[in-house]
Structure 1
Amino acid sequence: MKRIVVLVVLVLFSCAENPVPKPERLLSEDTMVDILYDTALLQASEAYLPNKLTENQIRIKNYIYTKYDLDSTTYYQNQRYYAADFKKYKRMYKKVSDRLQQRKTELDTLMAQELRNRPEKPINKKREFNKPSLKELDSLSSQ
């Protein structure tokens, strides 16, 4: 019986929240959303045009570190800190998803406008071929 009580107590204490410590340099939630958004865009670019980032010597993590003036430790501490709060992290990803959808809508609108403004080329159904003259045929066959 004592073993069962000890096991129950151990399980209860092991399930207690163990919050991730606050990073020394805590980034605002909005900044983390911006970082997640930029990361999503770059990863999508990498998936769609795999060589483009390599050709331009862009590494996703280095780009993020430079743009937001971060080091890898600060980045990972903040990532861990925000990910520990599932509801907050889910809300942050919802913001990222909404921004990506908004950007897609903007780009779709621009593409539609570009297609409308593009002058249409007349379709020439009849192709004209230059028939070689007999002289040209003779010169070709003698070669």
Structure 2
Amino acid sequence: MILKRLLLVVGIIFMALACTNLKGPEKPKKLISKDKMVDILIDARLLTSANSKNKMIMRDSGLDMNNYVFKKHNIDSLQFALSNSYYSYYVDEYEEIYTKLTDSLTKLKEVLKEQEAKEWKEQTKREADSLAAVLKEKNKTVDSLNVNPIDKSVFKKPNGERLKKNNGEIDEEKLLEESIQEIEGLVEPISDKGFQ
């Protein structure tokens, strides 16, 4: 019974000593500022979200993707790990960093969409201008050949006589009607009823 009480007292003492370390990690000597952490996390997110083709291009150009972000921001991996551990323990501060990160990425996405839309408009305008220039050049070529417009007064009826002008205009409906009558006399319509 005395042994049980002794074990209980020793257990409570160990628990009390263990709980004194719950105040969180110590602030690192080279703590990265919140704004710089946002910039680092943005670069890391962009680098990891690159598609495989872009990653291959980066590797082929000699970019060390594992250390690029650290070199760019002039930090080392230990400094980042300690700062990240410190901020992640204090949830309010880490949430502030995360909020800035998501806002920045959202704004960056909007800017990229606007830029893509602008480039698309410019490309479409260049293509339309190019097409217009080709058509204009084609029209100049046709005009330079001195091609006269068709004189509708020389149209002939299917039987060979010339069409008469009606107040200076050709009766196109009459021409079409007469042409159809002429063709109907030459070709018999085919019915699909006999093939059933």
TM-score range, shorter chain: 0.5 to 0.7
The aligned residue for residue 111 of structure 1 is 116
1:58-101 alpha-carbon deviations (Å, 9 max, x no partner): 23341122112112221211111111112211221111111111
- The structure number with the bigger radius of gyration is 2
Q: 2:67 aligns with which of 58, 62, 68?
A: 62
Identity in percent: 26
User: Could you list the runs of 5+ residues in structure 2 that have no partner in the other structure?
Assistant: 132-196
How many pairs are equivalent? 122
Secondary structure of 1:118 counterpart: helix
RMSD, aligned α-carbons: 3.1
Q: CA deviation at 1:110?
A: 0.9
Distance 1:56 1:39 in 2: 18
Which of 96-105 and 71-80 deviates more? Answer: 71-80
- Matched AA of 1:80: S
Distance 1:82 1:109 in 2: 34
User: Could you list the runs of 5+ residues in structure 1 that have no partner in the other structure?
Assistant: 123-143
Q: 1:76 aligns with which of 66, 69, 81?
A: 81
The aligned residue for residue 31 of structure 1 is 36
- Matched AA of 2:43: D
Please say if residues 46 and 53 of structure 1, whose CA atoms lie closer than 8 Å, have aligned partners that are also in contact: no
Q: CA deviation at 1:19?
A: 0.9
- Matched AA of 2:23: N
Which of 54-63 and 97-106 deviates more? Answer: 54-63
Q: CA deviation at 1:15?
A: 9.2
Q: Kindly report which structure 2 residues correspond to 1:11-50, keeping only aligned pairs within 5 A, or say none.
A: 14=19, 17-45=22-50, 49-50=54-55
Distance 1:34 1:26 in 2: 14
Secondary structure of 1:49 counterpart: helix
Q: CA deviation at 1:45?
A: 1.5
Q: 1:107 to 1:21 in 2, by over 3 A?
A: same
Which of 70-79 and 95-104 deviates more? Answer: 70-79
- Matched AA of 2:86: Y
Distance 1:17 1:42 in 2: 35
